[in-house]
Chains A and B, each alone.
Chain A
Amino acid sequence: MTHYLLAVHGPAEAGEFGSYGSKEEMEAAFAATDVFNQKLHDEGYWVFAGGLQPATTATVVDGHGDSPVVTDGPYLETKEAIGGFWVIEAPDLDVALKLAAEGSKACGGKVEVRPFDGLA
Chain B
Amino acid sequence: MQGGTAAVERVFREEYGRLIASLVRRFGDIDIAEEAAGEALVAALERWPESGVPPNPGGWLTTTAGNRAIDRIRREKQRDAKHQAALMVYDDTPPEPSGPVEDDRLRLIFTCCHPALAPEARIALTLRLLGGLTVPEIAQAFLVPETTMGQRITRAKKKIAAAKVPYRVPEAADLPARLDAVLAVLFLVFNEGYLASGEGSPIRAELTGEAIRLTRILRQLLPDEPEVGGLLGLMLLTDARRGARVRDGQLVTLAEQDRAGWDRAMIAEGHAVVRESLAINRPGRYQILAAINAVHTDAPAARDTDWSQVVALYDQLTRLDSSPIVALNRAVAVAELDGPEVGLALVDRLPLAGYHAWHATRADLLRRLGRSAEAREAYDAAINATQNTAERAYLSRRRGELV
The answer to whether the Cβ of B403 comes within 8 Å of any Cβ in the partner chain is no
- CB-CB under 8 A from A94, the residues of chain B are 165-166, 170, 174
- CB-CB under 8 A from A4, the residues of chain B are 163
Chain A residue nearest to B161 in the complex (CB): A115
* Range for the number of chain B residues in contact with chain A: under 10
Give, as a whole number of angstroms, the nearest-CB distance from B164 to chain A. Answer: 4
A96 to B164, CA, bound (A): 10
A4 to B163, CA, bound (A): 8
The answer to whether the Cβ of B172 comes within 8 Å of any Cβ in the partner chain is no
The answer to whether the Cβ of A92 comes within 8 Å of any Cβ in the partner chain is yes
In the complex, which of the residues A91, A94, A113, A115 has the most CB atoms of chain B within 10 Å of its own CB atom? A94
A113 to B114, CA, bound (A): 15
A113 to B116, CA, bound (A): 10
A49 to B170, CA, bound (A): 29
What number of residue pairs across chains A and B have CB atoms under 8 A from each other? 25
- 1/0 contact string of A72-99 vs chain B (CB within 8 Å): 0000000000000000000111101100
A91 to B167, CA, bound (A): 12
Q: Is the interface of A mostly helix, strand, loop or mixed?
A: mixed
A92 to B116, CA, bound (A): 12
- CB-CB under 8 A from B163, the residues of chain A are 2, 4, 93, 96, 113-115
A100 to B213, CA, bound (A): 35
A96 to B165, CA, bound (A): 10
A93 to B164, CA, bound (A): 5
- CB-CB under 8 A from B116, the residues of chain A are 93, 97
A114 to B162, CA, bound (A): 9
A117 to B164, CA, bound (A): 11
Give, as a whole number of angstroms, the nearest-CB distance from B113 to chain A. Answer: 13
Choose one: B114, B162, B165, B170; the contact of A117 (CB below 8 Å).
Answer: B162
Give, as a whole number of angstroms, the nearest-CB distance from A102 to chain B. Answer: 15
Give, as a whole number of angstroms, the nearest-CB distance from B146 to chain A. Answer: 29
- CB-CB under 8 A from B166, the residues of chain A are 92-94
- 1/0 contact string of A5-33 vs chain B (CB within 8 Å): 00000000000000000000000000000
Give, as a whole number of angstroms, the nearest-CB distance from A58 to chain B. Answer: 27
A93 to B163, CA, bound (A): 6
In the complex, which of the residues A91, A93, A114, A115 has the most CB atoms of chain B within 10 Å of its own CB atom? A93
- CB-CB under 8 A from B162, the residues of chain A are 115, 117
- CB-CB under 8 A from A117, the residues of chain B are 162
In the complex, which of the residues B162, B163, B165, B170 has the most CB atoms of chain A within 10 Å of its own CB atom? B163
A114 to B116, CA, bound (A): 11
Chain B residue nearest to A118 in the complex (CB): B81
Give, as a whole number of angstroms, the nearest-CB distance from B203 to chain A. Answer: 38
Chain A residue nearest to B174 in the complex (CB): A94
Give, as a whole number of angstroms, the nearest-CB distance from A97 to chain B. Answer: 7
- CB-CB under 8 A from A91, the residues of chain B are 164
Give, as a whole number of angstroms, the nearest-CB distance from B159 to chain A. Answer: 9
Give, as a whole number of angstroms, the nearest-CB distance from A91 to chain B. Answer: 8
Choose one: B165, B170, B174; the contact of A93 (CB below 8 Å).
Answer: B165
- CB-CB under 8 A from A97, the residues of chain B are 116
A89 to B94, CA, bound (A): 31
Chain A residue nearest to B171 in the complex (CB): A94
Give, as a whole number of angstroms, the nearest-CB distance from B330 to chain A. Answer: 38
Give, as a whole number of angstroms, the nearest-CB distance from B86 to chain A. Answer: 14
A94 to B168, CA, bound (A): 11
The 7 closest A-B pairs by CB, nearest first: A92-B166, A92-B164, A115-B163, A93-B163, A2-B164, A93-B165, A93-B164
5 contacts between A and B (CB under 8 A): A4-B163, A93-B163, A94-B165, A94-B170, A117-B162
Given contacts A4-B163, A91-B164, A113-B163, 10 further A-B contacts (CB under 8 A): A2-B164, A92-B166, A93-B114, A93-B116, A93-B164, A94-B165, A94-B166, A96-B163, A114-B163, A115-B163
Binding site for A on B (CB under 8 A): 114, 116, 162-166, 170, 174
Binding site for B on A (CB under 8 A): 2, 4, 91-94, 96-97, 113-115, 117
